[in-house]
Structure 1
Amino acid sequence: MIKNFENYKKNIALLERMAYHYYVLDDPISTDEEYDELYHQIKDYEEQNPNQVILTSPTQRVGSNVLEAFQKNKHLERMWSLDDIFNPGKLEEWLNRIYKSWPNINFTCSPKFDGASLNLYYKNGILQSATTRGDGIEGELITQNAKTIRSIPLKIPYKESIEIRGEVVITKDDFEKINQERLQSGENLFANPRNAAAGSLRQLDPKITAKRKLKFIPWGIGKNQIQKGSFFKLINEILQYGFYPTPFIKYCENIEDIQACYDNLLSIRHDYPIMLDGMVIMTDSIEAQKNLGYTIKSPRFACAYKFPAIEKSSTILSITNQVGRTGVITPVAELKPIEIEGAIISRATLHNYSEIEKKDIKINDTVIIIRSGDVIPKIIKSIQTLRDGTQIDIKKPTHCPICGSELLIEEIFIRCQNLSCKARLKESIAYFASKKALNIEGLGEKIVEQLLQEGIILNILDLYSIKIEDLLKLEGWKEKKAQNLINAIKNTRNIPLWRLLNALGIEHIGEAASKKLASNFGLEVFQKNYDEINSIDGFGKEMAASVIDFGIVNKNLIKKLFEIISPQIPQNIATKSNSFFALKTIALTGSLSKPREEISSLLESLGAKMTSSISKKTDLIIYGQNAGSKLKKGKELNIELIDEKQFKIRLKNEGIEL
Structure 2
Amino acid sequence: MNHQEYIEKLEILKVWAKAYYVDDAPIASDEEYDRLYHEVLKYEQENPLFADESSPTKRVGGVVLEGFEKASHKARMWSMEDVFDEHDLDAWIERVKKVKERFTFYCEPKFDGASLNLIYENGMLKQAITRGDGSIGEDVTQNVKTIGSIPLKIAYEGEIEIRGEVVIKKADFERLNDERLKNNESLFANPRNAAAGSLRQLDTSVTAKRKLMFYPWGIGVNSLTQSFLSQKMSFVYSLGFLQPPRIVVTQNVQDVHTLYHELIANRDAIEMMMDGMVVKVDDISLQEELGYTVKYPKWMVAFKFPAIEKVTKLKDITLQVGRTGVVTPVAEVEAVNIEGVVVERATLHNFDEIERKDIRIGDSVIIIRSGDVIPKIIKVLVERRNGTEVTPQRPLSCPVCGSELLDEGALIKCQNLSCDARVVGAMIHFASKKALNIDGLGDKIIEQLYAQNVVLHVKDLYALKREQLLALEGFKAKKADNLLEAIEQSKKVSLEKFINALGIEHIGEVAAKKIARAFGLEWLEAGYEAIIALEGFGEEMAKSLVEFIRVNRDETYELMAVIEPVASKLEITESVFTGKTVVLTGSMSKPRDEIKGMLEQLGAKVSGSVSKKTDFVIFGEEAGSKLDKAIELGVKTLSESELNGMIE
Q: CA deviation at 1:296?
A: 0.5
Contact preservation (8 Å) 2:226, 2:232: no
For residues 6-63 of structure 1, what are the alpha-carbon distances to aligned partners after superposition, in whole Å with 9 as ceiling and x for unaligned?
3323322221111000121122222211211111112212222233333222111123
Which residue in the other structure is 1:446 paired with?
444
For residues 424-479 of structure 1, what are the alpha-carbon distances to aligned partners after superposition, in whole Å with 9 as ceiling and x for unaligned?
32221121111211111111212212222232211100111112222222233232
Unpaired runs of at least 5, structure 2: 618-623, 627-632
User: 1:86 pairs with 64, 84, 87, which one?
Assistant: 84
Which residue in the other structure is 2:585 paired with?
593
Q: CA deviation at 1:621?
A: 6.1
In structure 1, how many angstroms separate the alpha carbons of the residues matched to 2:559 and 2:647? 36
Using the TM superposition, name which of 154-163 and 232-241 deviates more: 232-241
- Code of the residue aligned with 1:516 in structure 2: it is K
Contact preservation (8 Å) 2:84, 2:305: yes
- Code of the residue aligned with 1:387 in structure 2: it is R
- RMSD (Å) for aligned C-alpha atoms: 2.7
For residues 183-226 of structure 1, what are the alpha-carbon distances to aligned partners after superposition, in whole Å with 9 as ceiling and x for unaligned?
11111111111111111111111111111111111111111123
Which residue in the other structure is 1:358 paired with?
356
TM-score normalised to the size of structure 2?
0.91
Which residue in the other structure is 1:509 paired with?
507
Quick one: structure 1 residues 119 and 378, their matched pair in 2 at CA, closer, same or farther if it must change by over 3 Å?
Answer: same
Quick one: structure 1 residues 208 and 86, their matched pair in 2 at CA, closer, same or farther if it must change by over 3 Å?
Answer: same
Tell me the secondary structure at the aligned position of residue 336 of structure 1: strand
In structure 1, how many angstroms separate the alpha carbons of the residues matched to 2:605 and 2:313? 49
Which residue in the other structure is 2:630 paired with?
none
Which residue in the other structure is 1:270 paired with?
268
Q: CA deviation at 1:602?
A: 6.0
Quick one: structure 1 residues 536 and 602, their matched pair in 2 at CA, closer, same or farther if it must change by over 3 Å?
Answer: farther
For residues 344-384 of structure 1, what are the alpha-carbon distances to aligned partners after superposition, in whole Å with 9 as ceiling and x for unaligned?
11110101111111111111112221211111111113122
Q: CA deviation at 1:110?
A: 0.7
Quick one: structure 1 residues 523 and 259, their matched pair in 2 at CA, closer, same or farther if it must change by over 3 Å?
Answer: same
Which residue in the other structure is 2:15 paired with?
17
For residues 71-129 of structure 1, what are the alpha-carbon distances to aligned partners after superposition, in whole Å with 9 as ceiling and x for unaligned?
11111111111111222222222122222223332121111011111111111111111
Aligned residues: 629
Counterparts of 1:105-144 in structure 2 under 5 Å?
105-144=103-142
In structure 1, how many angstroms separate the alpha carbons of the residues matched to 2:425 and 2:76? 26
- Code of the residue aligned with 1:394 in structure 2: it is P
- Code of the residue aligned with 2:89 in structure 1: it is L
Which residue in the other structure is 1:290 paired with?
288
Do structure 1's residue 368 and structure 2's residue 333 form an aligned pair?
A: no
User: 2:178 pairs with 169, 180, 193, which one?
Assistant: 180
Tell me the secondary structure at the aligned position of residue 482 of structure 1: helix
Contact preservation (8 Å) 2:224, 2:232: no
Which residue in the other structure is 2:241 paired with?
243
Q: CA deviation at 1:227?
A: 5.3
Do structure 1's residue 308 and structure 2's residue 281 form an aligned pair?
A: no
Tell me the secondary structure at the aligned position of residue 158 of structure 2: coil
In structure 1, how many angstroms separate the alpha carbons of the residues matched to 2:524 and 2:207? 49
In structure 1, how many angstroms separate the alpha carbons of the residues matched to 2:420 and 2:608? 40
In structure 2, how many angstroms separate the alpha carbons of the residues matched to 1:509 and 1:295? 13
Which residue in the other structure is 2:57 paired with?
59
Do structure 1's residue 261 and structure 2's residue 254 form an aligned pair?
A: no
- Code of the residue aligned with 1:321 in structure 2: it is L
Tell me the secondary structure at the aligned position of residue 490 of structure 1: helix
Which residue in the other structure is 1:406 paired with?
404
Quick one: structure 1 residues 555 and 643, their matched pair in 2 at CA, closer, same or farther if it must change by over 3 Å?
Answer: farther
- Code of the residue aligned with 2:572 in structure 1: it is K
User: 2:156 pairs with 146, 155, 158, which one?
Assistant: 158
- Code of the residue aligned with 1:3 in structure 2: it is N
- Code of the residue aligned with 2:636 in structure 1: it is K
Unpaired runs of at least 5, structure 1: 614-619, 628-641
Using the TM superposition, name which of 275-284 and 379-388 deviates more: 379-388
Tell me the secondary structure at the aligned position of residue 230 of structure 2: helix
Which residue in the other structure is 1:472 paired with?
470
Which residue in the other structure is 2:415 paired with?
417
Q: CA deviation at 1:535?
A: 1.0
Which residue in the other structure is 1:28 paired with?
26
User: 1:37 pairs with 20, 35, 38, which one?
Assistant: 35
- Code of the residue aligned with 2:265 in structure 1: it is S
User: 2:201 pairs with 203, 206, 219, which one?
Assistant: 203
Which residue in the other structure is 1:97 paired with?
95
Which residue in the other structure is 1:381 paired with?
379
Quick one: structure 1 residues 87 and 264, their matched pair in 2 at CA, closer, same or farther if it must change by over 3 Å?
Answer: same
Q: CA deviation at 1:389?
A: 0.5
Which residue in the other structure is 2:2 paired with?
3
Q: CA deviation at 1:608?
A: 6.3
Which residue in the other structure is 1:578 paired with?
574
- Code of the residue aligned with 1:21 in structure 2: it is A
- Code of the residue aligned with 2:542 in structure 1: it is A
Quick one: structure 1 residues 654 and 479, their matched pair in 2 at CA, closer, same or farther if it must change by over 3 Å?
Answer: farther
Which residue in the other structure is 2:491 paired with?
493
Tell me the secondary structure at the aligned position of residue 636 of structure 2: helix
Tell me the secondary structure at the aligned position of residue 296 of structure 1: coil
Contact preservation (8 Å) 1:291, 1:594: no
Q: CA deviation at 1:253?
A: 1.6
In structure 2, how many angstroms separate the alpha carbons of the residues matched to 1:208 and 1:241? 27
Which residue in the other structure is 2:214 paired with?
216
User: 2:427 pairs with 391, 412, 429, which one?
Assistant: 429
Using the TM superposition, name which of 445-454 and 369-378 deviates more: 445-454
Q: CA deviation at 1:270?
A: 2.4
In structure 2, how many angstroms separate the alpha carbons of the residues matched to 1:402 and 1:621? 54
Q: CA deviation at 1:648?
A: 8.4
User: 2:636 pairs with 645, 652, 656, which one?
Assistant: 645
Contact preservation (8 Å) 2:519, 2:569: no
In structure 1, how many angstroms separate the alpha carbons of the residues matched to 2:329 and 2:101? 46
- Code of the residue aligned with 1:306 in structure 2: it is K
TM-score normalised to the size of structure 1?
0.90
- Code of the residue aligned with 2:91 in structure 1: it is E
Contact preservation (8 Å) 1:571, 1:605: no
Contact preservation (8 Å) 2:401, 2:420: yes
Do structure 1's residue 229 and structure 2's residue 227 form an aligned pair?
A: yes
Counterparts of 1:485-634 in structure 2 under 5 Å?
485-570=483-568, 572=570, 575-576=571-572, 578-579=574-575, 593=585, 604-606=600-602
- Code of the residue aligned with 1:523 in structure 2: it is L
Quick one: structure 1 residues 324 and 612, their matched pair in 2 at CA, closer, same or farther if it must change by over 3 Å?
Answer: farther
Contact preservation (8 Å) 1:68, 1:204: yes
In structure 1, how many angstroms separate the alpha carbons of the residues matched to 2:86 and 2:370? 17
Q: Percent identity between the aligned chains?
A: 50
In structure 2, how many angstroms separate the alpha carbons of the residues matched to 1:647 and 1:372? 49
User: 2:456 pairs with 458, 462, 465, which one?
Assistant: 458
For residues 578-613 of structure 1, what are the alpha-carbon distances to aligned partners after superposition, in whole Å with 9 as ceiling and x for unaligned?
35666x6x878xx97369x96976665445678999
Q: CA deviation at 1:562?
A: 1.3
In structure 2, how many angstroms separate the alpha carbons of the residues matched to 1:461 and 1:354? 35
Do structure 1's residue 484 and structure 2's residue 498 form an aligned pair?
A: no
Tell me the secondary structure at the aligned position of residue 312 of structure 1: strand
- Code of the residue aligned with 1:177 in structure 2: it is R
For residues 558-579 of structure 1, what are the alpha-carbon distances to aligned partners after superposition, in whole Å with 9 as ceiling and x for unaligned?
111111122111251xx31535
Q: CA deviation at 1:413?
A: 1.0
For residues 202-256 of structure 1, what are the alpha-carbon distances to aligned partners after superposition, in whole Å with 9 as ceiling and x for unaligned?
1111111111111111111111123541211211121121212222012112212
